[in-house]
Structure 1
Amino acid sequence: MTDYNPREPADTPPAGSGYSKTGTATAVPPEAIKAIPVRHPWRWVSGIVVLALLALLGIAFANAKIQWNDIPEYLFNDRVLDGAKNTLLITVLSMVIGVVLGVVLAVMRLSKNPVTSGFANLYIWVFRGTPVLLQLLLWYNLALIFPTLNLMPFYKNEMTEVMTPFVAALLGLALNEAAYMAEIVRAGIQSVDEGQTEASQALGMSKGKTMRRIVLPQAMRVIIPPTGNEFINMLKTSSLAFVITYHEMTFVAQDVSSEKLNVMEMYFTIAIWYLAMTTFFSIIQFYIERHYAKGSLRELPPTPWQKIRGNLSSGPRLMGTRGAR
C-alpha cells in the first residue's frame, strides 16, 4: 500500500499506482531477475574420468619398450621423405583422374541415352562393389592373362614392363575413386533447381554450356565437402599400395623396420606424417568449403584462429562473419 498525499489535487492518482495525472497507464519497470546458473556436476565427473584415462595411457606408453629416440631420428630420413613424396604423388594424381572421370560418369548416368547411362551404372556397380585392395592386385597381376600389351601400330610391349607398381597403383586407386566421385557429382548436379537449366536454355545456351557455366558452379557447394573427405581418405587408402611393392610410406616403414628391427618406432613415425598431411589438407578443405558457403549462409563458420581466440578469451566466443578472413 502506498500512502496518499492529501495535499495533491484530487484528480492526481497515488504515486506508484501505475497511472499518470491524465489517467493513462504508465510503464512500470520490471523487477530485476536473479539468474541462478544450473549446476552440471556430471560434466566435471566426465572430464576427470577422461583426463584420468589419458594419464593412464600416457604412463603405459612411457613404460613401454619403445625406443623413442628412433622416431625423431627417422622422421626426416631420406627414405621416409621419399615415401611421403610418393604418397602425395599417387594421392594427387589418383584424385585428379578420379574427379575428371567421375564428372564424365555422372553426366553419362544422367543422360537419357540408355547405352551411356547403362555403362555408367555398370562401371559404378563393379568398382564400388569390389574392394580396392583386390583391384590393386588385379591390375598388378594383369600380365598373367595378358602377357603382351599390343596396341599396334601405336605401341607394343610386355605387360610386366607396362604394369609397374606405380601404374598399377594409379589405375587401381583412380578408377575406384571415379566410381565414388560419380555419385558425389550426380548428387551435386541434382541439387541444382531445374529452373536454372530451363532459364539458361531459354536464353539459347547449349546443354554443354549450361552444364559448365550454370549447373556445375552451383553444384560445387554440395560437391566440395565430400570431395575433400574423399581426398583425405585417398591419402590414407594409398597405403594399400604397399602390397604391390609401391614405395609409399607404409612400404618404406616395413622395409626400414626389417633392417633395424624397430617396427613400432617406424609405424609411429609414419603415423606422425599421416597426421600432419591430413591436418594440412583438412585446413585447406575448411577454407574451400567456407568460400563456397558465402552465398548460402548468413554467417560463415569461425576460422580455426577465431575458435582459438574465442576459447581463450573470457568474453563470448567470436562468431564467423561474412566479411571475416
Structure 2
Amino acid sequence: MKKTLLIVILSLFVSVNMWAQDEAAEKDQPVGAAFENGTLIDAQTSYIPSVKSLEFVIQHKFGPIDNGDAAFDLFGLYAAGANVRLALNYVPAKNLQLGIGVTKLNLYTDLNAKWTVLEQTEKNTVPVFVTVLGNAAIDGRPKDDFGGLNNYENPLDTFEFRGSDRYSYFAQLLIGRKFSDALSLQAGVSFSHANLVAQYHDHDRVGLHFNGRLKFSPQSSFIFSYDAPLKIDDISEQHSGWNANNAPGWDGPYHPKASLKFGIEVSTYTHAFQMYVGNANGILPQYDMMNNMNDPFEGLAIGFTITRLWMF
C-alpha cells in the first residue's frame, strides 16, 4: 500500500512538473534587443547590457563642413568648433544603467540614468519597449565666463552669479519597437531645463524625438536621429512686449531648430562604431534642444561614436 501511494505521489509530482514546464515554455518571452547598443549617434536607445557590464563611450564631432575652405580643412576635420564627450556607463541591476560623462563644450560633467521599464515580447503581450532616462549636467567653465550676462527677469539689473546657474537637466520617455531583425524604430518626448540662459531665451523646452536603424548586413546598419524642439507659448518666457527699444540687440523670439543626423553603424558583440553627419554641434541632449540654431542640412559636421563593452 505504501509503495502504491508513493508511486501515485511521484507520478502526480512528475505530471505537475511537466505541466509547469509546458506552461513556462508557452509564456511570452522578450523579443530581444531592438538596437545593437545603448547609444545611437547622440540619442539613447532601449538597449541596456547585462548586469555588471561596464561601457566606455567616445563621442566626437568635428567642425562644420562648410567652414571656409572645405578642401583645406578636410571638410571640418581641421576646423574650429570640434566637440568631444567621454563617458562610462555601468549596469548595477537588470535593465538599469547609471553613467557619468565629461564634455568639451562648456566643460560639462553629467550624471545620467536609464531604465527600460517594459520589454517587447515575441507574442506581443507587450508590443513595445518603454524606456525612461534623464541626466543632470554641471557647466564647469570658470566663473568669469558667466559674466557680462544680465538678469533674465529684468535686463537692467546686473547679473549676479550663483553656483546653481551651472546646472541643466534633461528627462525623456522613449517608446520603441523591433519590427524585424533588420528594422527598429523609437519615438520619444523630452523636457529640458537650464537654470541659466542668455537674455530673452526660455529656461524650459519640450521636444519630440524620432530615431532608428535599418540593418543591411549582419554587422552594419543605416542609422538616423531627429530631434525637434517645440514652440509652446504657454511655457515660453519670451514676451511680445520685448523689442529693439527695450532689448538692444534682440531681433525677435528665440526658437531653437530641429537637429537631423544620419550615418552608418558597424557593430560586434562588444564594440560599435558609428559615423554620421548632422547639423547640431552639441552632444548633451539639453544643449541641442535649447541652443541649436542650424536648420537641417545647414552647418553640417561629421561625427563619430565608439562604444566598448566589458562584461564582469
Instruction: Give the TM-score range, shorter chain.
Output: under 0.3
Which structure has the larger Rg? 1
Q: Scaled by the length of structure 1, what TM-score is found?
A: 0.21
Q: TM-score, normalised by structure 2?
A: 0.21
The structure whose residues are more often helix, as a share, is: 1
